[in-house]
Structures are given as C-alpha cells and as structure tokens.
Amino acid sequence: MVKPDRPPRIILLFRNGFMKKLSPSDFAALREKTRLVLAGRDPADSYGFVNPPIVRGSTVVYPTMEDFLQRKARYSYGTKGNPTIDALEAALNTIEGGAGTVVCPSGLMGCTLPLLATLSAGDHLLMTDSVYRPTRMFCDSMLKRLGIETTYYDPSLGAEIAALFRPNTKAVWTEAPGSQTFEMQDIPAIVAAAHAHGALVMMDNTWATPLYFDSHKFGVDISVQAGTKYYAGHSDVLIGTVSARTPELYRTIRDAWEALGVIIAPEDAFLTLRGIRTMRLRLQEQMPAGIAMAQWLAARPEVARVMHPALPEDPGHALWKRDFTGASSLFGIELKPVAMKAVGAMLDGLSLFGMGASWGGYESLILPFDCRPYRTATTPDFKGPTIRLHIGLEDLDDLKADLEAGFERLRAAA
Ligand SMILES: *Cc1c(COP(=O)(O)O)cnc(C)c1O
C-alpha cells in the first residue's frame, strides 16, 4: 500500500546535490524542453555521473529491527519501486502533467491496469469502436468474466455520447486518432458528458504523445501511453505508462500496481528514460516527414484516400487542429480496389519499409490491415485494401522511391 505520508514522487528526486539549486516550484516553472533534460536525475545520487544508474534488486536490507518493523527506508522491496524506475516516473510526470505516473511491462498492460484498478463487478464501460484491438479483447474476455459490461461506441460521437450513459457507467475509454483507421474524437465534449455523469475518462494517447496532446489539461483522468512506441523510440523496449490526473486516482492506480506486482526491469526504465530525452527531436523530424509522405500518397493514382488527421481533407482535421499541437508519423491509406495478391507484390519487394506490428521507432514500417471483421459499432466503408505506414528517420526521397517501385509492382500484378 502507498503510505499516506508519501510525498509526490517528483519531489523525491530533489534531495541533495546539484539539483538542490532548484526547488520543486522552480523546476515546475521551467519550460517543457528544459524539464525533459533535467527530470528524474541528480548526479549527486549517481556518483556524479550524468544519468541515474540501473539499480537491480529484490531485497532491501535494514540496519536495525526497529527500522525494519517501521519500513524506515526510501525503498522497501523490489516490487514497490526502485531508483531507476522512480527516475523514469519523475520524467514521465514532467510531460504528462498529472498527479503521478506508474509504469508497466507493456503498453497493453498500461491499458488494462487502469480498467482493472477502477472497475468492479456490475459496472459498465463505454469503449470507442476504434480502440487498439488487444484492449478490445481484454474487455470481451477478462472484464466480461469479472462482470463488467462493455458497450462500443462510434468514435465520431461528441456530446451525443451522453445518451449512452447508464446509471452504472463508470468510465469512458477514448483513443484519438483511433488504431488503424485514425478517427479523431471530440475529447472535451466526451469529458464534459462523462464528468456530468460522474464517470472517468481514460485515453490511450500513444499516437500524439503528451507532447502533442495535453490530455490531462483537457480533463482526461487517466492518460495511457504505449511507451514502446515514441517514448522508447528504438523498437527495443516494451513499456506502458499510466498517468493519473488527481492524487486520489493516482493512489488507486498505484495501489492496484502494487497489489498486482506489476514491476518492470530497471534496464527497460533506463532505456525509456534515454528515449524520452530525445523524443521531442525525433517527433520534430518525424511529424513533417509523415505529413509529407501522406500528401505524396494522397496524390498517387493507386490511392483512394489517406487517413491522417493533419491533412486538411481528413474528416478529423478540425478537431485535430483545435486540440492537438502536432502529429506523429503513423497513418493509414486505402488503396483503390485491387487484388491482395497485387498488394503482396508491392509490400514483399520493399527494401526500406519493414513489415511488422508496433511503431514509433526510428525506422519505417508498413503493414496491411483489415479492421472490418471485429468492429461492432461502426462499419468502415473501405472498398479497397487498407495499409498502415510508420515513417522513420530515413531520407524521405529514398522512402518515396521504395514505395514508387512498390506501386509499379502493384500495377504489374493487378
Ligand atoms: C502498440 C499499442 C499498444 C500496446 O503497446 P505494447 O507495448 O505493444 O503492448 C497500445 N495502444 C496503442 C494505440 C498501440 O499502438
């Protein structure tokens, strides 16, 4: 259990050493860029080295029986946190701007943990139909077995979502833009409807990251990240993060985190911390590359439509422009009707795009998808095959040449 007198986690990292020059309120007044460089580290705690060390450990030993009985130590046991994980959580707090953050071993667990922590048998959950598919599978299997009912809703609902609330609706899950199909959601309208009903709003904010959508500022109560994507940024770590808007909710999430024993390896905390230091720079490069590639694809004769909310013709563009401050480099396209065999000829011959799940790394990826078989509240009207692209840090002209040759193979095989 979290001790009631436990100070906010961010303060724990300002004890001695060179950070002593900055009080927590001085730190809070700094701009985000600066906070991202400083957060979660104090060289006085790491023998003067710049970065916090990887601390491995299960057991914490105490000098006296009295200390042990009172658990009088900064750390009590390996499953309840350690300095490397604290450093990461402190850094995450600086960008999420919530009351506290916990980290877990995958983005998927980042989605499932807050649902497990806040919902009880008899409760009702509203879930966007555009949600990341494994989150849907969790609702349809484990939540269902635990007696929690899920209703999927059309992601285009704003204030009209109020009609779907029942007396037992405890939470609304959002994801904007949605997985695979990139529908935007009117988060402020959903927050207003949910809060009027006393329900929580949770958001999978992996696409925009807190740098490009400040979800807590918009009233989102629980902000989830698959840190596997842009946080870690190098396709070599699985990690999830859960940030709570209020201290009470943070306590609830943290208690569930401790009760379940959801601990991550300190190496993964270290690598994610390293990723976060440069995330802003990577996104600054990847956002315009993604938009430029989406525009280039929109002009191709083989492409029926592009799903990218930063493009003015996208149905979600007005919401994106109103609420978001940037875009990541993941988007979808619908091809004009063509045989899957031809799509295979295009994708199989690509040399720069890897074909695989996940995204947010430094490298470009491509995959075919079909969301129609499992959507239940909406029926996307795709007439041709659908493809998802992630644009990495390669030269854009090289990537276009790779795709151009792919389109030639597609036409030849059609
Ligand atoms: C990848 C992803 C997740 C899950 O992250 P993992 O670390 O792969 O479990 C959750 N939500 C979204 C939107 C994702 O793209």
Q: What is the pLDDT of residues 355-384, one digit of tens each?
A: 999 999 999 999 999 999 999 999 999 999
Q: Cβ atoms within 10 A of the Cβ of 325, count?
A: 11
Per-residue pLDDT, 27:
84
Atom of ligand 1 nearest to the CA of 175: 13
- The beta strands (E) that lie in 154-244 are given as 169-175, 200-204, 222-226, 240-244
In this structure, what token pair is assigned to residue 243? Answer: 């940030």
Query: What strands lie across the sheet with 386-390, from one edge to the other?
Result: 303-307, 330-335, 386-390, 365-369, 354-355
- Whether 228 lines ligand 1, by a CB cut-off of 6 Å, is yes
Q: Of all protein residues, whose CA lies closest to atom 4 belonging to ligand 1?
A: 107
Sign of the C-alpha dihedral computed for residues 97, 101, 107 and 110 taken in this order: negative
CA distance 272 to 278: 10
How many residues are present in the chain?
Answer: 414
Please tell me whether residue 228 adopts helix, strand or coil conformation: coil
Residue 87 CB partners (closer than 8 Å, separation 6+): 13, 40, 41, 52, 269, 273
Please, which contacts does 298-305 make with residues 24 or more away whose CB atoms are closer than 8 Å?
Answer: 300/407, 301/336, 302/335, 302/336, 302/338, 302/407, 302/410, 302/411, 303/333, 303/334, 303/335, 303/336, 304/333, 304/334, 304/335, 304/336, 304/383, 304/384, 305/333, 305/334
Q: What's the CA-to-centroid distance between 107 and ligand 1, angstroms?
A: 5
Model confidence, pTM: 0.94
For the chain, list residues with pLDDT below 70: 1-20
Per-residue pLDDT, 20:
60
Please tell me whether residue 128 adopts helix, strand or coil conformation: strand
In this structure, what token pair is assigned to residue 139? Answer: 């609702």
Please tell me whether residue 107 adopts helix, strand or coil conformation: helix
- Whether 111 lines ligand 1, by a CB cut-off of 6 Å, is yes
Distances (CA, A) of 227 to 41, 184, 393: 19, 21, 18
3-state helix, strand, coil in the chain (%, to 5): 40, 15, 45
CA distance 33 to 296: 31
Residue 201 backbone dihedrals phi, psi, to 5 degrees: -115, 125
DSSP code at position 336: S
Please tell me whether residue 377 adopts helix, strand or coil conformation: coil
CA distance 357 to 326: 23
Residue 55 CB partners (closer than 8 Å, separation 6+): 82, 83, 84, 266
- Whether 232 lines ligand 1, by a CB cut-off of 6 Å, is no
- The beta strands (E) that lie in 205-293 are given as 222-226, 240-244
**How many C-alpha atoms does 306 have within 13 Å on its Cβ side?**
24
Atom of ligand 1 nearest to the CA of 330: 15
Q: Of all protein residues, whose CA lies closest to atom 5 belonging to ligand 1?
A: 107
Q: Report the candidate in 84, 24, 31, 63 with the shortest Cα–Cα distance to residue 273.
A: 84
- Whether 131 lines ligand 1, by a CB cut-off of 6 Å, is no
Per-residue pLDDT, 19:
55
In this structure, what token pair is assigned to residue 38? Answer: 């400083």
Please tell me whether residue 246 adopts helix, strand or coil conformation: coil
- Is the peptide bond prior to 177 cis by the omega test (within 30 degrees of 0)? yes
Q: What's the CA-to-centroid distance between 207 and ligand 1, angstroms?
A: 10
Amino acid at 133: R
CA distance 224 to 281: 21
- Whether 204 lines ligand 1, by a CB cut-off of 6 Å, is yes
Please tell me whether residue 354 adopts helix, strand or coil conformation: strand
Q: Of all protein residues, whose CA lies closest to atom 1 belonging to ligand 1?
A: 358
CA distance 350 to 126: 40
- Whether 132 lines ligand 1, by a CB cut-off of 6 Å, is yes
Residue from 206, 213, 223, 234 whose mutation best tests the ligand 1 pocket (most atoms within 8 A of CB)? 206
